[in-house]
Structure 1
Amino acid sequence: MTDILIVGGGVIGLLLARELVKQSISVAIVDSGELGREASWAGGGIVSPLYPWNYSKPVTALANWAQQAYPNLAAELAVESGIDPEFNPCGLMMLDPPGKDRILDWASVNQKAVQLLSAQQALAKESALGCGLDYAVWWPHIGNIRNPRLLRSLYAYLKMSDHCKVYSHTEVESIRESKSGQVDIIAVGKKLTASKAVICAGAWTGKLLGALGVDTPIQPVRGQMLIFEPRPGLINSMILHQGRYLIPRLDGRILVGSTLEYTGFDKATTKEARELLLEQAFKLVPELRSVPVEAHWSGLRPGSPHGIPFIGKVPGWSNLYVNAGHFRNGLVLAPASVRLMRNLLLNEEPIVDPGPYDPLTPRPSSDMF
């Protein structure tokens, strides 16, 4: 029997497994596909909500904790696994974001370094910018993580652990609470038993909990992205304008994202999204017109009301938990989200007040997704 069974092998499930095995707790991960190949793999890896002042205090609390944790986490994983997740503290430049005074007030309250730049100062930092702008906001503390490498490093670390078993391509058919108080998970003919279980299945969490009679407002939201072939030095910081962004990787590749589409579980890429992303990329950095696109892909985010994740016990269960619904900020919040989950599983002092994330806590009904 396993101590804790984790359903879902994205960044939340893998990071949670790492947290637990470091405490010598036995863990099993079950995933219906290949580990780390859904939303966590598809995201851009900016370690901040795109417009952080627009988010609620619960999201901000987790984001602040996670931003402090990421540099050390990446360094530790590089040593533990031999795979560098490539945390890149390159800073984020926002072009003409609305509400200048509100931004500065938020940054002051949250003790974030921020600098207003004139158009000339912005061009001095990023000479390839091609769009006209009035001003920019520079966030030097914001970095990005190369999420496919982060997932690979986590998986490599867990494969070396005697405390972790992995069941990929293993779809969960049912979840039951045994008479002895344990959790039984039936998955493709296998019966896996654990003292506790955690659902970390991203956009698929609503389906799994719905089968148990638990209504959780998590829905898939498609996002499409492109990546350009390496052009080292073309841009050096992340650039955000009107909800679209460019992300430089350490090897010179440049990501552009992202769309926000309510298309159910359809993960198909579209010509319309490709053209939209290219148009925005070329507007921001005209030199990208001469750079070939290397790949175009999509992923399904776990949309939730106001992007506040559900972290805590599943209603009606004594030993089944959920950690899902991070919407656009799964990679952003992951280190804090899983540390809070660990706190709850092991009865530790929580890093933040767990109340706002409890599945029983009502979410505001307006502007839900």
Structure 2
Amino acid sequence: MKALIIGGGIIGSSIAWRLAADGNAVTVLERARLGQEASWAAAGLIGPQAEAHEPGAFFDLALAGKRSFDEIVERLTRESGVDPEYDRQGVLYAAFTEEDRAELQSRAKWQRAAGGEVEELTPRDALKLAPMLSAKILGALHMPTNWRVENRKLTQAYINAAIARGALFREGARVDSIVTAGGRATGVRLTDGSIETGDLVINAAGSWSGEIRGLEEDRIRFYPVRGQILCFDALPGLVGPSLFSADGIIVQRRDGRILAGSVFEEAGFNKSVTLDGLERVSRAARALAPDLASMPFREAWAGLRPASEDLLPVLGPSPTVGNVIYAAGHFRSGILLSAITGEVIADLAAGRKPSIDLAPFAPARFRDGIAHPVKLADWK
């Protein structure tokens, strides 16, 4: 089978690796540069408990994503020759108000019931684990199995491993539309008018997934949600666990860089770093770790998270065009869900039953009126 993957970010590259490993001919068509959009801009959390707001289908998917990643990371490192820097430091989620503390207590309760490992810490215990944390906290949750990677290296690892298996990657190849015959996809048409034929088309175009013509009857709207990150130079090992609050996050790389983020903004496809965004991120970061205020500033960047109307991933076959599969709408969890997405899409392509129930994420939910749109302001 020849598979065409639209999008060369972490999701498209993970799928390419899995499909190529199954013996398929794979071509990845990337509109710009490989891995330079949301995959490049992320903080790199493999943290299902930190990223899920409530129990349910998404939390189950997030836990499965962590398990899937744990199962493949050594193999991926070996096949790609790239160390994605999988740091097993855990997450500390801090409370600064009584309302925050009550929310964290509720989160601990439902996460334990749903199979997550979580510990409730006093301020003293939290500060022992993370000395950089503000002394003003009222309490914290420790999620010891929520880890992190260097997302840029992880994306490159998927690309390298896919290439080693025979996948072809094309940069600057913008897909305009799906080419069909008899209601089934036979390939894609690029913006230069050329046609690439294939037996299977996978829409993994991130925030641009809704721009592909020919899928309008699926009635899926994707849109970008901008995030902004500040980066500081520091000595390695200062932060330890990744730090979370209701307003921001702080993570550290092995080389010492400290990343602070992140805001959720509807700004179209504008990736500008803004004064307002910088101020909001820096305020949240300083509240979490006051010592950050004296560290040298290195750089700042913005990225576009790919969201669907209900803020859930879209995984599975198009309800209107045969031979098209969606792997899009991962919002803030593309890094976490990269391995499980590659796994289940490869299963669907091969006619295997996926290891998880994909019904809550089926593309048909929008056409059938089952999806419940979520306003970003309400989610936050």
TM-score range, shorter chain: over 0.9
- 1:131 Cα deviation (Å)? 4.6
Counterpart residue number, 1:291: 295
The answer to whether the 8 Å contact 1:114/1:138 transfers is: yes
Counterpart residue number, 1:178: 181
Equivalent residue of 2:45, what SS?
coil
Structure 1 residues 169-178 or 34-43, which shifts more? 169-178
The answer to whether the 8 Å contact 1:53/1:106 transfers is: no
Equivalent residue of 1:330, what SS?
coil
Which one-letter code corresponds to 1:24 in the other structure? G
The answer to whether the 8 Å contact 1:7/1:197 transfers is: yes
Q: What's the CA shift string for 1:285-328, capped at 9, x where partnerless?
A: 22222221222111111112342111111121111111101111
Which one-letter code corresponds to 1:127 in the other structure? P
Separation in structure 1 between the aligned mates of residue 343 and residue 355 of structure 2, nearest angstrom: 7
Query: Structure 1 residues 251, 205: closer, same or farther in 2, change over 3 A?
Result: same
Q: What's the CA shift string for 1:213-232, capped at 9, x where partnerless?
A: 44212111111111111322
Separation in structure 2 between the aligned mates of residue 66 and residue 214 of structure 1, nearest angstrom: 26
The answer to whether the 8 Å contact 2:215/2:320 transfers is: no
- 1:37 Cα deviation (Å)? 0.6
Query: Structure 1 residues 279, 100: closer, same or farther in 2, change over 3 A?
Result: closer
Pick aligned residue for 1:168 from 153, 159, 171: 171
Counterpart residue number, 1:225: 229
Whether 1:38 aligns to 2:42 is: no
Unpaired stretches in structure 1, ≥5 consecutive residues: none
Structure 1 residues 52-61 or 287-296, which shifts more? 52-61
Counterpart residue number, 1:20: 19
Q: Which residues of 2 match residues 1-369 of structure 1 at below 5 A?
A: 3-49=2-48, 51-52=50-51, 54-55=53-54, 57-96=56-95, 97=100, 98-162=102-166, 164-178=167-181, 181-187=184-190, 188-209=192-213, 212-361=216-365, 362-367=370-375
Which one-letter code corresponds to 1:65 in the other structure? A
What fraction of aligned residue pairs are identical, expressed as a percent? 28
Unpaired stretches in structure 2, ≥5 consecutive residues: none
Which one-letter code corresponds to 1:363 in the other structure? A
Runs (4+) off by over 6 Å:
none
Separation in structure 2 between the aligned mates of residue 313 and residue 190 of structure 1, nearest angstrom: 25
Query: Structure 1 residues 204, 180: closer, same or farther in 2, change over 3 A?
Result: closer
- 1:350 Cα deviation (Å)? 1.3
Equivalences, count: 367
Query: Structure 1 residues 180, 71: closer, same or farther in 2, change over 3 A?
Result: closer
- 1:347 Cα deviation (Å)? 1.0
The answer to whether the 8 Å contact 2:55/2:110 transfers is: no
Separation in structure 1 between the aligned mates of residue 51 and residue 163 of structure 2, nearest angstrom: 35
Query: Structure 1 residues 353, 209: closer, same or farther in 2, change over 3 A?
Result: farther
- 1:50 Cα deviation (Å)? 6.5
TM-score, with length taken from structure 2 = 0.91
Separation in structure 2 between the aligned mates of residue 243 and residue 304 of structure 1, nearest angstrom: 22
Structure 1 residues 275-284 or 109-118, which shifts more? 275-284
Which one-letter code corresponds to 2:275 in the other structure? K
Separation in structure 2 between the aligned mates of residue 192 and residue 171 of structure 1, nearest angstrom: 11
The answer to whether the 8 Å contact 1:62/1:337 transfers is: no
Separation in structure 1 between the aligned mates of residue 213 and residue 260 of structure 2, nearest angstrom: 34
- 1:182 Cα deviation (Å)? 4.8
Structure 1 residues 23-32 or 313-322, which shifts more? 313-322
Which one-letter code corresponds to 2:27 in the other structure? A
Separation in structure 2 between the aligned mates of residue 142 and residue 326 of structure 1, nearest angstrom: 18
Separation in structure 1 between the aligned mates of residue 55 and residue 133 of structure 2, nearest angstrom: 32
Q: What's the CA shift string for 1:108-166, capped at 9, x where partnerless?
A: 2222221111111111111122350111110101001110000111222223333x111
Separation in structure 2 between the aligned mates of residue 210 and residue 241 of structure 1, nearest angstrom: 42
The answer to whether the 8 Å contact 2:233/2:298 transfers is: yes
